[in-house]
Structure 1
Amino acid sequence: MMPSAKLITVPNFPLSISYVDLIALVWFIFCWYGYNIVNDNLVKSTRSLRARMHLYRIQWMVTSLSRDNRVLDINILANLQSSVSFLASTSILIIAGLLAALISSEKALEIVSNLPFSCEMDQHTWNSKVFVLIFLFVYAFFKFTWALRQFNYSAVLLGAMPTPKGSPEQFLPTARRAAIICTLAAKHMNRGLRSFYFAIAVLAWFIDPWLFIIATGWVVIVMYRREYRSEVVQVLNMPSENILSDS
């Protein structure tokens, strides 16, 4: 094991962390919180995955105005709800497992100490890192459950749409409103999923804080590429004539 660095301790609080660990934690918070703020609120690119999917949700809801039978639309929303519900349930199970790791911290520390290149860690440091993981999955659980509620609201708005009798243009605001609620639900679902991604980076913290810093940056790069540079984004941004010619 690598020698431990000088520790910062807080009296009467189960926190013990080295200076390098503190730098890594600050970098992690900056990347995690900063990416959510920049991607969801500051970046206004119309070619991102989030922006393109919002346009398709509007198209979906507007198209549903012309359908007498909306079983297909309800099935799509039910599928989205089941996916979010599964992720929320998974978050609860992971939180339970992490609480068990706190109880059996001595055995867990013994296992981690046998890993190559792992840093020396006392029980308070272990607990501090596990608490960070617990916070991430608690945050993810609240985001998933809020997204689930918003998908339920979307289903209500979809059911409130009138059947096509005459011109559907007067009901376009209702369709757009349902699409916006769907997009908000997807936004919170994505934030929960990002917590899962960043939790993978936190696992590297149990081995080495420098590896934690690298893993956090790697997660940001992966999420950026999937949001703005992935093949899915390229296909969604292709003109219709190019898609027809490729097929």
Structure 2
Amino acid sequence: MTLLDQLASHPLALRDLIALVCLFAAWLGIGWFTERPPQGRPSVSVLMTRYRREWMRYFVSREPRIFDGNILASLREGTAFFASACMIATGGLLALIGNGDRLRTIASGLELDPAADTGWELRLLVPMFFVANAFLKFVWAHRLFGYCAVMMAAVPNRPDHPDAMDRAMQAADLNITAARSFNAGLRSVYFALGSLGWLTGAWTLMLGTAIVLWVTWRREFASTSRQVILRSLPAPQLPDRVSGPAGSPASAPPPPPR
């Protein structure tokens, strides 16, 4: 029986539909809120845009530039690691979906809701969606960091060169875009873990969604790392408003406290 046949013979219960809507609404909502936070309450992701531009501003006059190359190499290694992990996880989920009967026999004792008719294969598709999305985000971030490396190499060695600062700011913008894609991939990994709760029922899926949403919000808006970043925020060199896919600007971080 194919997945479409299972969905046709056992349509999703109302509680499952509500749980799925909450899951995807939380995923999209926290992503939008993180990149476009309210004025005066910037997220860690938005705050770091200033430091990335500050990095490239000092990069122009730094000699030698081996330090900057090592930092960028470590960023690329991180994206490559997560992309490889997501590829392995995708293969594992595909293998589980292909052995649904065996999985159902082994894990039938985990079912908290005996009335649920949704197949195990359908429930595994949701975390696989998030893992696949994370893989694409990490791969794109890895490539953007590569573009950033090329742009950094194109910065003239003389700080007084008329193109030096412009190219450095281009590299900063590529770095910021790569970091935004990397952060989106991490959020997808978080919600992939939360969506595994659906294996034990709709209520567990809602609980997992709430936990992941709270953890994601706290790390962006109420973490110790955010307080450290705010301790000495660089003055803006360029507008910190980040345009999303729809072109809507994000709120800029407030000036550093005097």
Q: TM-score range by the shorter chain?
A: 0.7 to 0.9
Q: How many percent of aligned residue pairs carry the same amino acid?
A: 33
Give the Å deviation of 1:48.
2.3
Q: Which has the larger helix fraction?
A: 1
Residue 106 (structure 1) aligned with residue 106 (structure 2):
no
Name the CA shift for 1:113/1:107 in 2 (closer, same or farther; >3 Å). same
CA contact (8 A) 2:155 2:163 kept: no
Residue 129 (structure 1) aligned with residue 123 (structure 2):
yes
Name the CA shift for 1:42/1:226 in 2 (closer, same or farther; >3 Å). closer
What does residue 150 of structure 1 align with?
Answer: 144
Greater relative contact order structure (CA < 8 Å, 6+ sep): 2
CA contact (8 A) 1:66 1:168 kept: no
Q: Tell me how far apart the structure 1 counterparts of residues 183 and 223 of structure 2 sit (CA, whole Å).
A: 16
Name the CA shift for 1:179/1:130 in 2 (closer, same or farther; >3 Å). same
CA contact (8 A) 1:47 1:237 kept: no
Query: Aligned to 1:230, which of 223, 227, 244?
Result: 223
Q: Tell me how far apart the structure 2 counterparts of residues 169 and 230 of structure 1 sit (CA, whole Å).
A: 40
Please list, as runs of the form range in 1=range in 2, the aligned pairs for 1:160-175 lying within 5 A after superposition: 160-165=154-159, 167=160, 171-175=164-168
Please list, as runs of the form range in 1=range in 2, the aligned pairs for 1:208-219 lying within 5 A after superposition: 208-219=201-212
Residue 97 (structure 1) aligned with residue 56 (structure 2):
no
CA contact (8 A) 2:37 2:43 kept: no
Q: Give the residue type in structure 1 aligned to 2:82.
A: L
Give the Å deviation of 1:120.
5.1
Give the Å deviation of 1:170.
5.8
1:10-66 deviation per Cα after TM superposition (whole angstroms, max 9, x unaligned): x95442422111110111111111221232245455642112211111111111111
Task: Classify the secondary structure of the residue corresponding to 2:200.
Answer: coil
Structure 1 segments unaligned to the other structure (5+ residues): 1-10, 241-247
Q: Give the residue type in structure 2 aligned to 1:144.
A: F
What does residue 82 of structure 1 align with?
Answer: 77
Residue 187 (structure 1) aligned with residue 204 (structure 2):
no
What does residue 55 of structure 2 align with?
Answer: 60
Residue 204 (structure 1) aligned with residue 201 (structure 2):
no
Larger CA deviation: 124-133 vs 208-217: 124-133
Q: Tell me how far apart the structure 1 counterparts of residues 41 and 61 of structure 2 sit (CA, whole Å).
A: 27
Give the Å deviation of 1:172.
2.3
Q: Give the residue type in structure 1 aligned to 2:139.
A: T
Name the CA shift for 1:43/1:191 in 2 (closer, same or farther; >3 Å). farther
Larger CA deviation: 169-178 vs 201-210: 169-178
Give the Å deviation of 1:149.
0.8
Give the Å deviation of 1:87.
0.6
